[in-house]
Structure 1
Amino acid sequence: MGRLFLLIAALLAGLLGTAFGQTSPASEIAPGGKLRVGMIAIAVLGGVAEPVAGFVGQKLGAHVEPVMYANPEAYLQSFGKGEWDIAIGPRVLAPADKADSTGNLWAISLVYVAAPGTDFPDIASVDKAGVRIGTIRGAPSDRVLTREIKAAEIVRIPLNPTIAADAADLLRSGKVDVFGADSGVGYPAAEALTGAKIVPGVFGTVLVAAALPKGRSPAAQALLATLFDEARQAGVVQKAIDAKSLKGVNVVTK
């Protein structure tokens, strides 16, 4: 009922604004009928976000133009630069002073992959002196590990299209004992390396949300939130997750 009220309010605001020559909420979100969508080029983020953005664009009557960022650092730095109309990515990477975010859309588990021959019975056993943990530089997993790890050493590598294979190679080489990343990297890395295994449990969760540049009207914010809620409730987000056969990725329910 609350979302329905917000949508009605947004539509009324749009009609009144149009009548007085003002920009409608839909036009605020997708100026000129084009919706540029900032995303990170990784399966659990951009791979899910792209079809969800397509649904939102269709509802707005706008052509969707993906703006893919190669890594989390580039995505973070894009805020405030006018490179996109909305962004879909980790909530933690959307600065509150530069963007207004929707509710959470999906959640991604952060997991450890243990190298062959190592023994880590649980998450707590990883943070020990002498243990080397690989991760993706600048990713939410890096942020969690930097904050939480007290004794182990963190080894960072850049994100690229072959990140799962890179993680497996790092484990195979013996340069790290475990690799900590989102489940979209962790599970494929474990499958790519004979003897590697997922450590039981998760060491964190990444919450994904959409964001509008700071300064958009409350009506535009309400409309965008309603459209993403509709995408979630209509099964669009779940279908996008299933299409990528992703493990450890779940739609956030309210």
Structure 2
Amino acid sequence: MSTIAVAVICKTPAPGKSKTRLSPPLHPDECAAISACFIADLTATIAEVAEVADAAGYAVYTPAGTEPALRRLLPPGFGLVLQGEGDLGARLHKGISDLLDAGHAGAMLINSDSPTLPAAILRAAVEALQGGDRVVLSPAADGGYTLIGLTRPHAHLFADIPWSTADVYRLTLERAREIGLPVVELPGWYDVDDALSYAWLEQEIDGVPPAVGRPGMTGAPAPRTRAFVRARRRTGRAA
């Protein structure tokens, strides 16, 4: 199979368990609601890319048993792969490995916190993964990465990384150098996971380009996320 698996790694939204770092400013039920918007919008972008590139859309998800609720957020035809156990590194490694084991020529995982991630970045990642053994990365504004893609499993990339810190991207590059793995660095983007980055999202919706990415690069439409933010701003609380 020559296709590239393009997957969002996510947790099926539930109040009190989703995007908790966004509370405040959001209430727990709003955190779950905006998480659903993020997943729906990001996977719509993935589906758009899959229409013009040799790619297939997936969700690498948790927890087990929430498949019907998650499928309501996904475009038709998306595959589901259950996340493994352990820390984020272990789950990322298993997610990549499972997608490659399904027969794809390459696999990438995208965090579920970047609803306006441009389709251009995803298309570039798909193209880069068609060029042999390498790691493809898009840095995030907080020092992590928005996506990671591989054509072969490399457990060392995910070993001993202090997740949720500003050192994630830098240390991942170091791991790649240690194993002699070529790196393709793509333009970066930002995650929406706290009050500051939620303000960035509001600014982007108001027409202010994010201070990340390539000059002139515009975010994806993200209609559900935009509608959520505008409704919350108008009423003080999203519907």
TM-score (norm 1): 0.30
Q: Which of 1 and 2 has greater Rg?
A: 1
